[in-house]
Amino acid sequence: MMMKNNPFVGTGVALITPFNDDYSVDYESLRNIVDFTLQNGADFLVALGTTSEAPTLNAEEKVNVVKTVVETAAGRCPILLGMGGNNTAALVENIKNQCFKGIDGILSVVPYYNKPNQRGMAAHFKAVADASPVPVVLYNVPGRVGVNLQAATTVELAKHPNIIAVKEASGNLQQIMEILCDKPADFTVLSGDDGITQPMMALGAKGVISVAANGYPEPFCKMVNLMLEGEEKEALKLHYKVLKMNGLIFADGNPAGIKALMAHRGLCKNVLRLPLVTTSEKVRLDIENECDNLLK
């Protein structure tokens, strides 16, 4: 049996979408962020993930964001495209109509709002994987979608030849360990939580799809690389060094926290589209102070 080829290992950056003061997309800053993350250790990029505020982007903006990311990356790393939905037929149709030039895989979230059971989730993802011309990474994030993709269902889906990995953001280490224990050898588990990336990698995960790496890739990517290299003692030092910041950037919602940090570093404006708003003044100041301490 042919082994799956998974290019999504190490630190993946769930890219933000920077906006101008008039709420238009700031493509120049997006290009700069792509360069910044790649120059500081990112291994792959995620376009149109949750952190991108994709639900507030129109169809033309989504096309232009993806084009900007692909053209700026210019083959320097694999690109994962966020493509999820809670209408399986519509999602399959979108996949069939999507241009995959420069795209190496899709990240597909568990269907939200209509709360399918495990059989429904399995059938949904098999339909997505059958339709996709590129490999599929599952995305389990119960806190956002309202249901949990259980370990047994993930392991079942891992047997599909076009499903290569899962981004696990349940925060449930028992469930994550069950996946790591029972999964096929050629299926990859990625952390979906910045704060537990190092512990998950110690258990067998092969990387992360990260919010943090947008804003402080220097220490974060180094931590992930050290774990991949088996330098766990040094990685653990960095894990604790970024621990406070990893909490602060989610204290007032995502991507509000990471945008506050990135604005402090001059990478983008601190602008979000409704229904999201900027962090409170206290959280912003805490983030800025911790950023200054972290990057000393």
Give the catalytic positions in this structure. 139, 167
Alpha helix locations (H) across 80-159?
A: 88-97, 118-131, 142-145, 151-157
Q: Copy the structure tokens of residue 156.
A: 């079942």
3-state secondary structure of 239: helix
* Cβ neighbours for 29, distance < 8 A, ≥ 6 positions apart: 18, 267, 268, 269
Q: How far apart are CA 54 and CA 41, in angstroms?
A: 25
Q: How far apart are CA 177 and CA 193, in angstroms?
A: 15
Q: Copy the structure tokens of residue 102.
A: 């420069």
Strands 105-109 and 79-82, sheet pairing: parallel
